[in-house]
Amino acid sequence: MAEAREKEAAGRPPRGETLLYLNGVTKSFDGFKAINDLSLVVARGEMRAIIGPNGAGKTTMMDIITGKTRPDAGEVYFAGNTDLTRHDEAEIASMGIGRKFQKPTVFESHTVEDNLVLALSGQRGIFSTLFHKRSESDSKRIDTILETVRLTAKRHLPAADLSHGQKQWLEIGMLLAQDPELLLVDEPVAGMTDAETEETAKLLREIAETRSVVVVEHDMHFVRALGVKVTCLHEGHVLAEGPLDQVSADPRVIEVYLGR
Ligand SMILES: Nc1ncnc2c1ncn2[C@@H]1O[C@H](COP(=O)(O)OP(=O)(O)OP(=O)(O)O)[C@@H](O)[C@H]1O
């Protein structure tokens, strides 16, 4: 066991070279180990897909990274030397870790553009944000984000008029307005049409050109379209990791997840 762990650690890059570094992380709820000796490393500029059966610990892992849940043991580092276990959710968000939850939470009665303006301004009050003249650099950023999330033509529509998939894109755009270095995305394509799913894979690939992205997703067509390294979690631990073809051919992955 110790030997296997040393071997595992030997293949891992030094912490200083990583953007996200989890080592030996454990979290129990009422004696049940939701996360069990979890080690996972994401490089700067990498996009990673996380798969695994219900209850595998994917959400708990995201909660630990974002400071919502404290681990019982183990290391959780951001950008090489920031110990995330010593910071709260607000601090972690302001450090450059953005999280997109499964359900879109946009301001329905505001226009698409105003949703982005509000996200860009962060702390400023809604009134002063919407009624003050926008700086040229803010306007340019909003145009760029609208292009990225495929909503330029919808910019003046209330967010309520968007399809479910477009609302998800808008929320991704709102996170981009905060310019995160690491974007955590939870089941982005659940409930999307096939065309939206395909477009979301493209969109995330574009986003990952300038930042790291961790995507949790059950839709294997989508995961394939992402074309990135995949980590399969099971019982709070990494069961398999590598290219999708390799992971999906792993008999253990088939037994606990894909074969079901
Ligand atoms: N706050 C909590 N209290 C008690 N048990 C919890 C809590 N949070 C998570 N768990 C348990 O930990 C395990 C891992 O849950 P988690 O939600 O992280 O899995 P998941 O991989 O995200 O599953 P899904 O694919 O269904 O979203 C589950 O058995 C869950 O019931």
> What ipTM was assigned to the predicted interfaces of this complex?
0.95
pTM of the model: 0.91
Question: 31 CB less than 6 Å from ligand 1?
Answer: no
Among 60, 69, 81, CA closest to 235: 60
Question: 52 CB less than 6 Å from ligand 1?
Answer: yes
49, 129, 138, 187, 229 from 223: Cα distances, Å: 7, 38, 33, 11, 9
Q: What is the pLDDT of residues 168-188, one digit of tens each?
A: 999 999 999 999 999 999 999
**Six token digits for residue 214:** 């961790």
C-alpha–C-alpha distance, residues 126 and 28, integer Å: 40
**Residues 236, 35: contact at Cβ < 8 Å?**
yes
**25-31: long-range contacts (C-beta < 8 A, 24 or more apart)?**
25/61, 25/64, 25/71, 25/73, 25/74, 25/75, 25/76, 26/71, 26/72, 26/73, 26/74, 26/236, 27/60, 27/64, 27/69, 27/70, 27/71, 27/72, 27/236, 28/72
With cut-offs at 50, 70 and 90, classify the pLDDT of residue 254. Answer: very high
**What's the pLDDT score for residue 259?**
80
Domains located in the chain, CATH noted: 1-95+229-260 (3.40.50.300), 103-211 (3.40.50.300)
Higher pLDDT, 107 or 135: 107
Question: 166 CB less than 6 Å from ligand 1?
Answer: no
With cut-offs at 50, 70 and 90, classify the pLDDT of residue 122. Answer: low
Question: 256 CB less than 6 Å from ligand 1?
Answer: no
**Residues 146, 152: contact at Cβ < 8 Å?**
yes
How far, in Å, from the CA of 142 to the mean position of ligand 1?
A: 36
The closest residue, in CA terms, to atom 11 on ligand 1 is: 34
Question: 67 CB less than 6 Å from ligand 1?
Answer: no
How far, in Å, from the CA of 191 to the mean position of ligand 1?
A: 21
Question: 69 CB less than 6 Å from ligand 1?
Answer: no
The closest residue, in CA terms, to atom 3 on ligand 1 is: 29
The count of other CB atoms within 10 Å of the CB of residue 144 is 13
